[in-house]
Chains A and B, each alone.
Chain A
């Protein structure tokens, strides 16, 4: 409404001047160049989010998210998970005695047997996790207490570990391998699973490979001087103070799973994000003809080595099947369903509101 004449004039000047002045502008040094960039006239896409564009988007989001959410929820629900707490806090717990009588010095391990019943059979691969609660693997002092170059097989670091490993750097004057608090506190309960049927006690075969990230096992973690003859390679180093065996005896039967590349060790070395966490322990391979774990009675045999009572911790064993989205977690499904419904609901509400206003200012929505 104001000064429209002025602007039209200026516009004219611009367009008429634009084509002819390219060359002339170059001659006159002080005249600004007539480039789109310098004149702030770069061609631009000017999207205007209007109800007209957003409402369909909301509908579409709703329509996509709700099915995904339902799918996720169903997937998660189909995952079978069984969890046993074997900490032994209550007197009735089978591991009560082991937990009470624990001492670092005992050389023989205390064994306890925890019976449990699977109501439903577990199909496909079953993954066995151990879980710890109130264990701060993400404490800063703990997280940094490692020497990755030592773990990568670096010989200098083997003999003189990083300062970050303190106070688990040396013991009796010898460098500790692997050094640091994480390695020192390696989870060392041994868990075995037995199927009880018809009075017989058959051990379930537990795979201990394939539980660590491939890149960790093959690249990040390496034994010093190759996998052969670890005893020699680790000579001149001391075992972590809380360990019963030196690192080269973690799995003496399998040279590909011994020393730093022991998968239980690697899994432990990946520090958990939260104080309550689970770590993959074993994998039970799918059987061809029968369910991997048939319903029925089972017994978990624990050699109880890992003390958690001092910090109010809990120890669990989790048996779980896995889907394409990982372990059981209803969160994603619920979240997707919720967001999808909210979008859908908003779309409906907005549509109603907008319809009202559309009548009053019909011109406002015309995008160009």
Chain B
């Protein structure tokens, strides 16, 4: 059993009386590498052969080594060896890089304070309990508890850019009231066991003093400096190591995410199974027929072909078994190793095109798209549901203070009018003209805005400029915008900055914080200072935050701001109504509203609150819950002062993007934590809801009609909506998988978090029923809006859709930490490199700078990648089927003796050299339709929906094509060989000539088939296609031109040259190639009237000639 907490002796000094047993912790070595020099080979091989495909090829290879098989082990061993080696080298190189990086970190010089002396040592030697010194701009070598800082206010600044990408400075605090002299500090730290959450830490520090009772201090995340973060704006700090090495939060966070598999991969596996069945049945048929054939007298062992002694002695059943294995080996090329290699390469290389795309480059953040996984490229072309966050995704998260309302009077800031006090009352519909709230209330409200936040003033950097001067000048210069507007504020949430800036416009400027004192400059340019006593942090459950400050006059004041729903119940009700109208009006206009309340705490009240907060903060267990309980208790009985409205502008081209997605047949669901009204107006603005859209609401408001219980009402509403949206809608045309024509009536569905949890958590029996109804309604709506969602609920919704019938492909897009759960849950997770840190980006599969890039990512890249890889997969199976089928047929003519038709070199090289490059080039470069056209015609996306190119019908088409080609190649040459005297000098051809002719036809046909499918011929395609054919010819001459000393048999000696000297061979080769391609050319012509979209639809509706529309081929 693991202990829940660990005890650390600061500086390894035993505390007082207890016997000092130095506890064992792991050292500070970071090991991100997987292998060592010694275990690389076995471990890597083991891991590689755990892949089912590699294992299969290993088995084939072993069979070839052990059993006397028709082809030498080299034919399958060489490709396997190649694949394994390349993978091993790649992984080895990556591991070597990791070793190097580890070493750099582990050998980093650090300073450890040991009994008053400063000792230089290496990072990896740090032990838990060591006191470590860190200088400015250095990264912390392990997780430290901050003990001492050179700054006066016992803080230090840190950036966590390398951990979560947030580059703002974060303030961390020393443990309060610790000894300034670290040498004499005798303390223990009790803290939880290492856990990966970067933002959670609970601990307790016992400080022992010789003459007093031990003091206890609570430790939280604000005291913990994380390994990997960098010290900023602080000369030097000292801290005690609490977590080291692999137990640091950074290391715990590097454990990989679970891998996502794409739908294409599932298709490949299904096809693989089919081909495996074909392979086994081929081998079975051949084995059976062999023994039937041999039972005829004189066939098994004619006088000219005696068996060896060993063969005669072998047991019959064993012989049958080895024969079966031999056939398996002979036909095993039907499942090629190279397909896996090519698919991997295509995915890996293909993902670069996303990173390279300049359309994804955003000049503002100076970054392009980021690909975290290349496995899902083609999944981007298959998306059916998009789940999008609102704030920061649909909207810019670039907040601008629009207006506020104080005591029911509306104040709107007008940029154009520069009144001295910055205030102007507008003649809005609600406020009365020129009426203002009392000055006292105004100022209280503005003070609240200035104080109730966690904003930092950005420290002047080394450049200095005229900042210090202007600080001095502030007092003198009136009316001038204070320097901070340029300097800027840093905050975790842009709302807060907008509010502080808004207050600044009205004359109250937040100047910053110095040693727990907040300074604000009021309208008369006097500086007021407040002691910051407590910050009751924001959390998404409470949806509010508060500060407790002490003013100069000694009053303890609590300022609280938060969502209306979380503030209104906590203030005196008579004030609410005046403000509610404003809040609701603002919300419908799409603004984010916050309510501000305050409360004066009497000294007794404050003392109790202070004690409770301290106690809760010290708690080691359930600290969160205890804190929230105290917060709720403190934030009660407040007075409402006013409300603010902050505009969050829509992202660039948000509406166009959403429209394109809907045009592509993708259903867009908006999942937001925001209020319904705000979210709804955003949806209208994004054209997700249109004027004609009928909205079906399932929210707390519609549920409460006062008469019946909520549950009953829920039941009724669900049934009613279901009838409306599902039953009464005429069924879409049969056949059209997703319905090409838009339904006559658009429905939009709105649900909020509370109702959703009712749907999910209602009583056992009805829960699944409700869920079903809910899902069906949602699926019939064009847009679904879920507001007031907790992060977990977002993931729940994604999961529900993901697991629904037909398992549609889902995509989540978001920018904030609250979207991480849904990003991880969805098939494809997309992070926006927005303002709310980098957590979403880190957990996403793809990251893009802006929402508008989603359009090209899906409609452009996704579509192309899907078509490319689908074609790649189908083509690979096809080309190996028509490669092996002649070999199978040949068995009927060679006494089922497993005689290979092709030479071993051809067997080996076919997939590696002769036919691999063209398809790779195709699968990287093909643009069957220009990207511009794809983007213009979003409906094209529907044509590849539901894995259209990898379903059984196209698979059957390709398989039949392969069979047709295989039959044609074999029997065409078979009839030619009715008279093997094919040369003009009467000489005859043998079996290797037979195989070579078939192989030549094969290589040319499959290459031409690909050429026929290529719609986008760049020079690379030309080079690779013609180059492969040339290489084949040159190789064949070369291979047949020399007596190879290492070969046992010179089977192909001058076979190719003789073939070319025969006119009949030329004629048959031309004939067969042409005949093979005839059906394809024919299909292309027949498909032509379908227009440019023909190629994708074509595979499904092969001979579907009667399509009643045509599209201008404006390619």
Which residues of A come within 8 Å of B, CB atoms? Answer: 1-7, 10-11, 14, 17, 28, 30-34, 38-40, 42-51, 54-55, 57, 61, 68, 72, 125, 127, 129, 135-149, 152, 162, 164, 166-168, 181, 184-185, 210-213, 215-216, 219-220, 242, 267, 270-275, 277-280, 283, 307, 310-312, 320, 322-329, 331-332, 335-336, 339, 342-343, 346, 350, 354, 357, 360-361, 363-368
Q: Is the CB of B895 within 8 A of A136?
A: yes
| A39 in contact with B1113 given A136-B894, A139-B895, A310-B298 (CB within 8 Å) | no
- Give min CB distance, A265 to chain B, whole Å: 14
CB-based nearest A residue for B997: A273
The CB with the most chain B CB atoms within 10 A, among A184, A307, A329, A336, is that of A329
Complex Cα distance A38/B349, Å?
Answer: 11
How far is A28 from B899 in the complex, measured between Cα atoms in Å?
61
Known: A39-B358, A148-B1049, A273-B994. A47 touches B1074 (CB 8 A): no
B837 within 8 A of A: no
**Closest Cβ of chain A: how far from B88's Cβ, in Å?**
30
Q: Are A326 and B936 interface neighbours, CB within 8 A? A: no
**With a CB–CB cut-off of 8 A, which chain B residues contact A49?**
1012, 1081, 1084-1085, 1088
Chain A residues, Cβ within 8 Å of B987: 211-213, 280
User: What are 29 contact pairs spanning A and B, CB under 8 A?
Assistant: A2-B936, A2-B938, A2-B939, A30-B361, A33-B356, A39-B356, A44-B1016, A46-B1015, A46-B1017, A48-B1113, A48-B1115, A49-B1088, A61-B1074, A138-B894, A140-B70, A148-B1048, A162-B1048, A166-B309, A167-B307, A184-B304, A220-B1054, A273-B980, A307-B303, A327-B986, A329-B978, A332-B1071, A364-B1088, A364-B1110, A364-B1113
CB closest residue in chain A, given B1011 = A47
Let me know if B361 and A3 touch, CB within 8 A: no
B721 to chain A, nearest CB (A): 29
A147–B1051 alpha-carbon span in the complex (Å): 11
A158 to B1015, CA, bound (A): 58
Q: In residues 307-356 of chain B, which contact A (Cβ within 8 Å)?
A: 307-309, 311, 352-353, 355-356
A34, A45, A127: residue with the most chain B Cβ atoms closer than 10 Å: A45
Query: Whole-angstrom distance between the alpha carbons of A129 and B979 in the complex?
Result: 11
Minimum CB–CB distance from B1089 to chain A (whole Å) comes to: 5
Q: Please, which residues of chain B bring their CB within 8 A of the CB of A10? A: 359, 935
Is the CB–CB distance between B1085 and A28 below 8 Å?
Answer: no
User: Closest Cβ of chain B: how far from A87's Cβ, in Å?
Assistant: 14
Chain B contacts with A in 815-861, Cβ cutoff 8 A: 855
Least CB distance from B659 to A in Å reads 6
A220:B1049 contact, CB within 8 angstroms: no
B346 → chain A, closest Cβ, in Å? Answer: 14
Question: What chain B residues lie within 8 Å of A310 (beta carbons)?
Answer: 298, 302-303
A278 to B1071, CA, bound (A): 25
- From B113-121, B244-252, B512-520, B1061-1069, the one touching the partner chain is B1061-1069
Count of chain B residues with a beta carbon within 8 Å of a chain A beta carbon: 104
Chain A residues with CB under 8 A of B982: 325-327
- When chains A and B are docked, how far (Å) is the Cα of A213 from the Cα of B989? 10
Query: Is A329 a contact partner of B976 (Cβ separation < 8 A)?
Result: yes
B368, A30: Cβ atoms closer than 8 Å: yes
Q: State which of A34, A139, A336 has its C-beta within 8 Å of the C-beta of B899.
A: A139
Q: How far is the CA of A329 from the CA of B899 in the complex (A)?
A: 26
Asked whether, in the complex, the Cβ of A326 is within 8 Å of the Cβ of B932, the reply is no
Smallest CB separation, A116 vs chain B (Å): 20
Residue B993 CB within 8 A of the other chain: yes
User: Is the beta-carbon distance between B358 and A34 smaller than 8 angstroms?
Assistant: yes
Whole-angstrom distance from the CB of A277 to the nearest CB of chain B? 6
Q: With a CB–CB cut-off of 8 A, which chain B residues contact A143?
A: 899, 991
Q: Which of B70, B308, B659, B1058 has the most CB of A within 10 A?
A: B308
| Known contacts A43-B1018, A331-B975; A357/B358 CB under 8 A | no
Asked if B893 contacts A274 (CB within 8 A), the reply is yes
Q: Are A11 and B932 in contact (CB under 8 A)?
A: yes
Contacts of B1021 in A (CB 8 A): 44
Q: At the interface, yes or no: B367 with Cβ under 8 Å from chain A? A: yes
Task: Chain B residues near A54: list those with CB within 8 A.
Answer: 1081, 1084-1085
A144–B304 CB distance below 8 A: no
B1091 close to chain A: CB less than 8 A: yes
Q: Mark B991-1034, 1 if CB is under 8 A from A, else 0.
A: 10110000000000000000010011111110000000000000
Q: Name the one of A42, A68, A135, A181 contacting B1018, with C-beta atoms under 8 angstroms.
A: A42
Q: A4-B936, A148-B1050 are in contact. Are A140 and B899 (CB under 8 A)?
A: yes
Q: Is B644 among interface residues, defined by CB-CB distance under 8 A?
A: no
Identify which of residues 1058-1115 in chain B touch chain A, using a CB-to-CB cut-off of 8 Å.
Answer: 1058, 1062-1064, 1067-1068, 1071, 1074-1075, 1078, 1081-1082, 1084-1085, 1088-1089, 1091, 1110-1113, 1115
- Determine whether B299 belongs to the interface, using a CB cutoff of 8 Å to chain A: yes
Q: How far is the CA of A127 from the CA of B989 in the complex (A)?
A: 15
Of B305, B1047, B1048, which one neighbours A181 at CB under 8 angstroms? B305
B656 interface contact, C-beta 8 A: yes
Tell me the residues in window 964-998 of chain B with beta carbons closer than 8 Å to chain A beta carbons: 972, 974-991, 993-994
Q: Determine whether the beta carbon of A363 is less than 8 Å from that of B1110.
A: yes
